[in-house]
Amino acid sequence: MGNGKSTLMAGQKPTVFNNAIVRQQTISAYLFLLPAMVFFVGFVVIPMVMCLATSFFNYSMGKPFEFIGLNNYLEMFKDQVFLKSLRNTFVLVAVAVPTVTAFSLWVSCAIYQMHAIKRSFFRCVFYLPVVTGTVAVAVVWKWMFNKYTGLLNYILNATGILNENVSWLGDAKTALWCIILILFTTSIGQPIVLYVAALGNVDPSLIDAGQVDGATPFQVFWHIKWPQIMPTTLYILVITTINSFQCYALIQLLTSGGPDNSTSTIMYYIYYEAFKLYRYGYGNAMGVILAIIIALLSALQFKVTGSGATD
Amino acid sequence: METKKSLITPGTVLTNIVLALLSVFFIFPLYWIITGSFKDPIAVNASPPVWFPTEPTLDNYVRLLSNPAMKWLWNSVLLSVVAMALTCLTAAMAGYVLAKKRFVGQKVIFSIMICAMALPKQVILVPLLKEMSALGLHDTLWGVILPTVGWPFGIFLMKQFSETIPTEMLEAARIDGAGETRTFVDIVLPMVKPGLGALAIFTFINSWNDYFLQLIMLNSSRNLTISLGIAKLQAEMSNDFGLIMAGAALAAIPIITVFLMFQKYFTQGIAMGAVKG
């Protein structure tokens, strides 16, 4: 950093002094880092390494702990429930990520120029399901989706759209879509906050210039705002993808993966294998695959949205 | 811009109507939780539904408190406050040196943190459980707190905020003979206060709502958090919606209050965290 140099007095031996400063800086830097590193290494890095390592072992309760190479990985691709969970996960991600991104962009464009109080109000409203917490959100939706006392069936019957009660969470055809709907409501809060901040940072003189030149609102958006908010879009795509892949609590609380595994996702299935069947090694192997899929998708999103969008 | 604002076009009217309808849709679940918690069993199961409980009852709350609900609430508070305090302290220290010092291994450490952040954190829950069992921390609040503090997002956020400290100020302090600790406490901490505010509220809400981690780590009834408690009630008496809504209200109201009080910090912090450094 060379800041030390400026404190040097004339006549001192610069190199020795400098080395001493660098050494002292390094030591104090590590002392400052130490508490955070203890937690990070102890409870993030070590479990990650253990996850990878034990995925090559037969690590199950009541069975001998033995090295089985890639067997856990090979088993996965013959496991019908895993393949179904993989399919469900992809449906969920493929629907949730684009809709969350597009919808939050639309809302943000609509509210970011509003009066501060109004903007703040809408931002809070859309953030509300996130803050309320997954469990509270899940139990109230479970009630609203209930076949007999649920609000949804009442409204749809009263307005004549349906003429019988549907078991929304109990039917393999509708259950996953119910989960996606709730996931959607709990996912758009953060992207809206991010987009509103990003749109507020777009250089107003560029927008004015565009309008003077007679650009339509859509042209202003597409040629001026969209390129400037690209880094935010990328970030939103990545975090929404990660969150959607990890969708677990809603499923556990609403359907337990059923009916007939129609709402089982990889995350849910990992939990089921590891904590219900006590097959830790197999669960960890699926975890590794999930991490690889997410890493690949994130890399792809970086590529597609252009490497110029990030640092 | 001024001319645009005074213009009321069919487009803006339509946008406002759609936004209003969406707001109703997003607020409604919370409304249904709160009103539901005051309904008696007849009102809960009525068809057509009772839109507003005209004869509110506290019976659901009385029954809720026959469970250790206050203990669950206390566990949630304790867990979130401790996780918040530890995260803020460790992240502020680490973020400061990562932003403002140059030392051997700096790049490597920061890169590892960024990579870890991109991985799904739920994937490590299985080994984490094993580790906590080995440490004797399974079924204790520490089993939830320690991994929360370990997650590097806070360090990343505090690094972003620490970048804004003018280097001249740190240098001036050193010339005045202030030691590293003094510099950190007297100069760095006041400068990164908004960042700390954001991180505090962010960590508080996240640890309050981190259902999956709590579910893995906590078992015995008296160690549950409020989230786990409601999930347990739901599993045991799935159709007693009045009772479950009372539990949901008890879990949601404190955290929503905290959020509304500090939401300015919160929105700032999320936006700052996204600025890639």
Round to whole Å and give the CA distance between B64 and B69: 7
- DSSP code of residue A266: H
Count of alpha carbons within 13 Å of B239, Cβ hemisphere only?
8
Residues B237 and B116 in one domain: yes
Interface test with A, best of B88, B124, B244 (most A CBs within 10 A): B124
pLDDT digits (tens, 9 = 90+) for A102-159: 999 999 999 988 888 898 899 999 999 999 999 999 999 999 998 888 889 999 988 8
Residues 44-103 of B with CB under 8 A from A: 44-45, 47-49, 86, 89-91, 93-94, 96-98, 101-103
The residues near B238 (Cβ < 8 Å, ≥ 6 apart) are none
- Nearest C-alpha neighbor of B202 from the set B141, B252, B116, B271: B271
Is the predicted pLDDT of residue B134 greater than 90, yes or no? yes
Residues A194 and A245 in one domain: yes
- From the number of C-beta atoms within 10 Å of its C-beta (0-12, 13-18, 19+), residue A206 rates as middle
* CATH code, domain with A117: 1.10.3720.10
The parent domain of residue A122 ranges over 71-309
Residues A80 and A158 in one domain: yes
Report the range of poorest mean pLDDT among A5-14, A186-195, A198-207, B8-17: A5-14
Domain count, chain B: 2
Residues A9 and A105 in one domain: no
Backbone angles phi, psi at A214, to 5 degrees: 85, 25
Chain-centroid distance of CA A167 in Å reads 29
The parent domain of residue B96 ranges over 68-274
Q: What 3-state class would DSSP assign to A67? A: strand
pLDDT digits (tens, 9 = 90+) for A245-267: 888 899 999 998 878 889 999 99
As given in the structure block, the two tokens for residue B228 are 């786990």
pLDDT at B38: 94
Q: Minimal Cα–Cα distance from A291 to chain B, Å?
A: 6
pLDDT digits (tens, 9 = 90+) for B233-245: 999 887 889 999 9
Residues A120 and A212 in one domain: yes
Is the CB of residue B199 less than 8 Å away from at least one CB of chain A? Answer: no
Residues B53 and B163 in one domain: no
Q: Minimal Cα–Cα distance from B44 to chain A, Å?
A: 8
* B124 interaction partners in chain A (CB closer than 8 Å): 44, 47-48, 51, 287
As given in the structure block, the two tokens for residue B24 are 């109703």
pLDDT digits (tens, 9 = 90+) for A122-134: 999 999 999 999 9
User: Quick one: pLDDT band at residue A9, thresholds 50, 70, 90?
Assistant: very low
Contact A151, B32 (CB under 8 A): yes
Report the range of poorest mean pLDDT among B4-13, B43-52, B63-72: B4-13
Round to whole Å and give the CA distance between A255 and A266: 15
* CATH code, domain with B202: 1.10.3720.10
Residues B76 and B36 in one domain: no
Q: How many CB pairs under 8 A join A and B?
A: 274
CB contact under 8 A, A3 and B170: yes
Residues B153 and B27 in one domain: no
- The number of helices, as runs of H, and strands, as runs of E, in chain B is 16, 0
pLDDT at A300: 86
B178: left (phi over 0), alpha (psi -120 to 50) or beta: beta
pLDDT digits (tens, 9 = 90+) for A201-238: 888 888 888 888 888 888 888 888 898 888 889 889 98
User: Quick one: pLDDT band at residue B35, thresholds 50, 70, 90?
Assistant: very high
pLDDT digits (tens, 9 = 90+) for B151-164: 998 998 899 889 88
The residues near B46 (Cβ < 8 Å, ≥ 6 apart) are none
Is the predicted pLDDT of residue B115 greater than 80, yes or no? yes
Domain count, chain A: 2
- From the number of C-beta atoms within 10 Å of its C-beta (0-12, 13-18, 19+), residue B197 rates as middle
Mean pLDDT confidence for B117-132: 87
CB contact under 8 A, A44 and B91: no
Contact A189, A127 (CB under 8 A): yes
